[in-house]
Structure 1
Amino acid sequence: MCGIVGYIGNKKASGILLNGLSALEYRGYDSAGIALVNEQIEVIKVKGKVADLVSQCLSIGSELNGTIGIGHTRWATHGKPSKENAHPHSTKKFAIVHNGIIENYKEIDEFLIKNGYKKTSATDTESILLLIDYLSQNINTLEALKKAISILKGSFAIALIHLGEEKIYAAKKESPLLIGIKDNELFLASDLSAFLEHTKQFIVLEENDIAVLEKNGQFEIYNNGVKVQRTIKSVDWNLQTAQKGGFKHFMLKEISEEDEALANTIYAHIFNDKINMDIDEELLKKTDKITIVACGTSYYAGLTSKYFFEELLSIPVNVEIASEFRYLKPIFTQNSIFIAISQSGETADTKESLNLAKSFGVKTISIVNVQESTIARLSDYVLYTLAGPEISVASTKAFVCQLAMLYLFALKIAQLKGIEIKPYLNELMSLPSILKTEFSRLNTEVEKIAKKYANVKNFMYLGRGLSYPLALEGALKLKEISYIHAEGYPAGELKHGPIALIDENTPTFVIAPNFEPLYSKTISNANEVKARNGKIILLSDKFSNIADDFVQVPNTSYFFSAFVNIVPLQLFAYHIANILGNDVDQPRNLAKSVTVE
């Protein structure tokens, strides 16, 4: 998830671009840069935050006179954070910025190498640039861009400038891109916050749109080669509202982004139906035990994945809480693998557990969301989730991305062992579309139920199989941001003590995807609650008349049900906290990254 900004008009572009990038920095802060059209294309970029880029530009001063330019603030996907991998990328003729994932960049690179091109970065973005540069030898820029896009597989928002042309070219597929409109000036950005101080009129580019922005304030938009018209819209937002995309809180915005985050994470590791991971394959083939260690939400992602690992690979998987594991004397086999999961890559207990595993000589893998973080540097191998920045303290999209990465890792081992993975891979790749389609409906339905139960003081969450870790995570989310007492239990354990807590004032969230025998067993446990006057909120793809309230989730196979069932659990916690008037994004006593024991 990165931020794109562009300007074309009669003012100096550099200040406008830098201000726009500052507003977009919540989307990425590994590196930043701008490119301006002058007598040549001038590129200024740095590893670090936008403030570092501002300092660099101030040192150059009045020489930055271009009135056409593009800029970018990066959250690293392909290639580690560095000046070389920072955007914009440029040739003598072109400069480009890009947000998204290009799945077939390796094929493109092979083609470019055969035609005399050599990359200077590790990014898929430079692959797009060089492809356009190659194609433009015989056709104009617009046609080269169109042809390049027809070759690209994946998601992208692109802004492109060409030396000698007073134009900005833009293209969009599955990544947001907007045009801001003001008199004889035009702006381009990933979201409104980048140009809101200049104009509140804008156009949202639609799927497969290509736009050409000109210096006189004119623009044209094409879709599949046909010139089209898009509606000019207007908003009355302030900057903070714009950064939240119109959502009241970052947490709700980040839940809505789970489809995009999931797609980025999945597609970055799949190429021609094969899973690409920079891990010793001989190590993976010999693996006979996996230990997963994490804290909080990351621990529940690990616990959920255990069911998939053991079913698919018949390898024992231990999932441990990091704050406990670090004081144990763990038992590893000769071919054990240790996996540390941490959104920030800085979680203190997880880091110390990793060090403990390393002291036993075990090969270590980390699953983190922040490049160059401490846990990433300490690990033998790193698997990066591409959730983008999470601003809200309560983790949401990180969970689905961590779970997806764990599934991809299991499928990688299965592939090496000769196990057929195509059906699993197909279903995994279908999930982003399902989440995108279902979010609005689930949000509306869950909000209605939350209003009914907002004043309750205690909740129970029940689930069986891989729905049990979801019960734990659902209860955790409610505790974190609503400050309501909630407990998650395996549904079968209800009668072994927790049922004593059930009464008419303690609702029970029952997570029961329709898979026998788990469904009928879980419904039987719900009946035990009902017999004690307890209220049932049923989360399932199959209705039961035992439910006082019912949230219907999309139908999936058993092992992929967690990806869709987690969304209403997150939404329920969010809406309860919002109704109670709590500070949803910064709940009391909590920090985003726990860097102390």
Structure 2
Amino acid sequence: MCGIVGYIGNKKASGILLNGLSALEYRGYDSAGIALLNDRIEVIKVKGKVADLVSACLSSGSELNSTIGIGHTRWATHGKPSKENAHPHSTKNFAIVHNGIIENFKEIDDFLLQEGYKKSSATDTETILLLIDYYSKTLSTFEALKKAMSILKGSFAIALIHLGEQKIYAAKKESPLLIGLQEDELFLASDLSAFLEHTKQFVVLEENDIAILEKNGRYKIYNNANKVERLVKSVDWNLQTAQKGGFKHFMLKEISEEDEALANTIYAHIQSDKIELDIDEDLLRNIKKITIVACGTSYYAGLTSKYFFEDLLSIPVSVEIASEFRYSKPIFSDNNIFIAISQSGETADTKESLNLAKALGIKTISIVNVQESTIARLSDYVLYTLAGPEISVASTKAFVCQLAMLYLLALKIAQLKGIDVEDYIKELNSIPPILKSEFNHINSEVEKIAKKYSHVKNFIYLGRGLSYPLGLEGALKLKEISYIHAEGYPAGELKHGPIALIDKSTPTFVIAPGIEPFYSKTISNANEVKARDGKIILLSEKYSYIADDFIESPKVSYFFSAFINIVPLQLFAYHIANILGNDVDQPRNLAKSVTVE
């Protein structure tokens, strides 16, 4: 989830690009760079934040007088944060910036190597650049870009400049890209915040659009080689609203981004139906036991994955709370691996649990969202989720990305053991489009139900199987941002004590995927609630008459229901907190990263 900017007009581009990148830095902050077009292409880039790039520009000794340029602030996907992997990437004739994931970059790299091209970075973005450069030998820049787009698989937003042409080329598939309009100058950006101080008029590029931005405010847009017109829109937003994409809070924006974050995480690790993970295959092939350690939301992601691991692999999986594990005397056996999960990569208890496992000679794998974080550096192997930055304290898209990475690890182990997982991979690939298409409908339905229950002071969440940890996570979200007491329980445990809490003022949120026997058994527990005047909010793809309120879930198989059903739970907590007027993004007493014990 990187940030792209571009400018073509009659002002110095460098300052406009740097200001735009500052506004986009919430989208990524591993490295940053700009490319300016004069009689040559001048690239300045750094490992670090936009402030470091500003310093590099000031100390470059160049006057930076160009009126055409592109820029980028990076959230690392392919290749660690470094100056070499920073964008823009350039050849003598081209410079490019890119947001997205190219799934087939390895195959393209092999082809380009045979044609004499050798990469200087570890990024998939440089693959796009070299492919365009290759085709430009016989084609125009426009045709070379179009040809490259026909070959690329994955998601991308691209900005490209070519020496000798006073133009910026832009292309879009899945990843966002907008053109800002202001008399005789044009702006290009991943979102409005990058050019909002200059103009409030813009055009949104649609799937497979190619745009050509020229001097004097002229631009053309093509789709499948046909020239098209796109609606000019306008907004009356301030900068903070623009960074939120028009959403009231970052939390809601980040829930809406779960399809993109999940797609980035999944597609980066699946090549031609084969799971690609940078972990020793002999280690994975011989695993006999898995220990997962984490805190909070990350712990619930680990607990959810346990059901998938054990069903698919018949390997015992232990999921432990880090703050308890670090003071225990764990018993490890041969061929045991330790998995630490942390969004920030800095969680203190998880870090110390990792150190304990390492001291006992156990091979360690970390699942983190921040490159070069402490837990990533300490681990023998690291798997990066590609959720992009989370601004809201309450974690949302990190959960689905952590769960996806755990599933990818399970599928990789299965492939190494000769287990057929083709159907699982297909369904995993199908989840992001479902989330994208269903989000607005689910959000609308959940908001209505949240209004009905916003006055309630206590909630119970029930689920069986992998829906039980979802109930725990749903209750946690409600507590975190709504300050409402909520508890999650295994549905079958209701009659072992918690049923004493049930009355007409304590609703129960029931998560019941349609698979048997989970569905009928969970509905039976819900009937026990109804018999005691409790209200039922049912989340399922199958309606039941016991539901006072029903949230219909898109139909997927049981093991993938967690990716779908977590979204209404997050939205329910969000809407109640918003109705109550709470500070949703910065709830009281909480911090984004718990770096102390």
Q: Under a length normalisation based on structure 2, what TM-score does the superposition of the two structures give?
A: 1.00
Q: How many Å separate the matches in 2 of 1:62 and 1:468? A: 60
Cα distance in structure 2, aligned partners of 1:551 and 1:216 = 51
**How do 1:518-557 and structure 2 match up within 5 A?**
518-557=518-557
Deviation for aligned residue 1:61: 5.7
Cα displacement (A) at 1:216: 1.8
Partner residue, 2:392: 392
Secondary structure, counterpart of 2:32 in structure 1: strand
The residue type paired with residue 500 of structure 2 is: A
Partner of 1:45: 45
Q: Which residue of 2 aligns with 1:105?
A: 105
| In structure 2, C-alpha distance between the alignment counterparts of 1:539 and 1:231, rounded to whole Å | 38
1:422-501 to structure 2, matched below 5 A, reads 422-501=422-501
> What is the aligned partner in structure 2 of residue 57 from structure 1?
57
Amino acid at match of 2:71: G
The AA in structure 2 aligned to 1:74 is R
TM superposition shift of 1:60: 2.9
Correspondences of 1:347-358 after superposition (within 5 Å): 347-358=347-358
Distance, in Å, in 2 between the alignment partners of 1:390 and 1:518 is 33
> What does 1:133-144 align with in structure 2 at a 5 Å threshold?
133-144=133-144
Matched residue type, 1:105: F
Is 1:264 aligned to 2:272, yes or no?
no
For residues 138 and 156 of structure 2, the distance between their equivalents in structure 1, rounded to whole angstroms, comes to: 24
Match of 1:10, as an amino acid?
N
CA deviations over 1:302-342 (Å, ceiling 9, x no partner): 00000000000000000000000001111111100100000
Q: Structure 1: how far apart are the matches of 2:516 and 2:203?
A: 49
Residue of structure 2 equivalent to 1:402: 402
Residue 333 of structure 2 aligns with an amino acid whose one-letter code is T
Once residues 63 and 249 of structure 2 are traced to their aligned partners in structure 1, the CA distance between those partners, rounded to angstroms, is 41
Residue identity matched to 1:199: T
Distance 2:146 2:541 in 1: 42
Cα drift, residue 255 of structure 1: 0.1
Spell out, residue by residue over 1:510-560, the C-alpha distance to the aligned partner (whole angstroms, 9 max, x if none): 000111111000000000000110000000000001000000010110000
Quick check: 1:235 aligned with 2:243? no
Q: Which residue of 2 is the match for residue 565 of structure 1?
A: 565
Structure 1 residue 38, shift from structure 2 partner: 1.1
Partner of residue 25, structure 1: 25
SS of the aligned residue for 2:216 comes to coil
- What does residue 581 of structure 1 align with? 581
Moved over 2 A (4+): none
Counterparts of 1:40 and 1:63, CA distance in 2: 14
Q: Which letter maps to 1:175?
A: S
Distance 1:278 1:236 in 2: 46
Number of positions where the alignment pairs a residue of Structure 1 with one of Structure 2: 597
Q: What is the CA distance between 1:62 and its match in structure 2?
A: 5.6
Pairwise CA distance, 1:139: 1.0
Q: Pairwise CA RMSD of aligned residues?
A: 0.5
Distance 2:432 2:82 in 1: 29
* Corresponding residue for residue 158 of structure 2: 158
Whole-angstrom CA distance in 2 between matches of 1:328 and 1:414:
31
Tell me what 2:339 maps to.
339
Residue pairs, 1:38-437, within 5 angstroms: 38-60=38-60, 63-437=63-437
Please tell me the residue identity of whatever aligns with 1:124.
D
Q: How much does 1:63 deviate? A: 1.4
Residue deviations 1:83-141 (CA, integer Å, cap 9, x gap): 00000000000000000000000011111111111111000000000110111001110
Look up the equivalent residue of 1:29 and give its one-letter code. Answer: Y
1:586 maps to a residue whose letter is Q
Q: Distance in 1 between matches of 2:331 and 2:221?
A: 62
Residues 176-229 of structure 1: per-residue CA shift (max 9 Å, x gap):
000000111000000000000000000000000000000121111000111100
**Using the alignment, how far apart are the partners of 1:557 and 1:134 within structure 2?**
44
Q: Secondary structure in 2 aligned to 1:211?
A: strand
Q: Which runs of 5+ in 1 are unaligned?
A: none
Letter paired with 2:224: N
Following the alignment from structure 1 to structure 2, what is the Cα–Cα distance between the partners of residues 2 and 399? 20
Measured in 2, the distance between the counterparts of 1:280 and 1:56 equals: 39
Aligned-pair distance for 1:355? Answer: 0.3
CA distance in 2: counterparts of 1:153 and 1:496, whole angstroms? 52
**CA deviation profile, 1:416-472 (whole Å, cap 9, x unmatched):** 000001000000000000000000000000000000000100000000000000000
Deviations along 1:551-573, whole A, 9 cap, x unmatched?
Answer: 00101100000000000000000
Secondary structure of the residue that 1:60 maps to in structure 2? coil
| 2:153 alignment partner AA | K
Q: Which amino acid aligns with 2:144?
A: A
Distance 2:61 2:549 in 1: 63
Partners of 1:33 and 1:285 in 2: CA distance? 41
Look up the equivalent residue of 2:187 and give its one-letter code: F
What secondary structure does 1:227 align onto? Answer: strand
Q: Secondary structure at the match of 2:328?
A: coil
Distance 2:574 2:52 in 1: 35
State the one-letter code of the partner of 2:472.
L
- Name the SS for the 1:39 alignment partner: coil
- State the secondary structure of the residue aligned to 2:217: coil
Q: Secondary structure at the match of 1:222?
A: strand
Q: Identity over the aligned pairs, expressed in percent?
A: 85
Equivalent-residue separation in structure 2 for 1:125 and 1:69 (angstroms): 18
TM-score (norm 1): 1.00
Cα distance in 2 for partners of 1:573, 1:459 equals: 11
**Residues 276-311 of structure 1, C-alpha deviation per residue, up to 9 Å, x if partnerless?**
011100011110000000000000000000000000
Q: Which amino acid aligns with 2:115?
A: N
State the shift of 1:56 in Å: 1.1
Query: What is the DSSP-based 3-state SS (H/G/I as helix, E as strand, rest coil) of the residue aligned with 2:528?
Result: helix
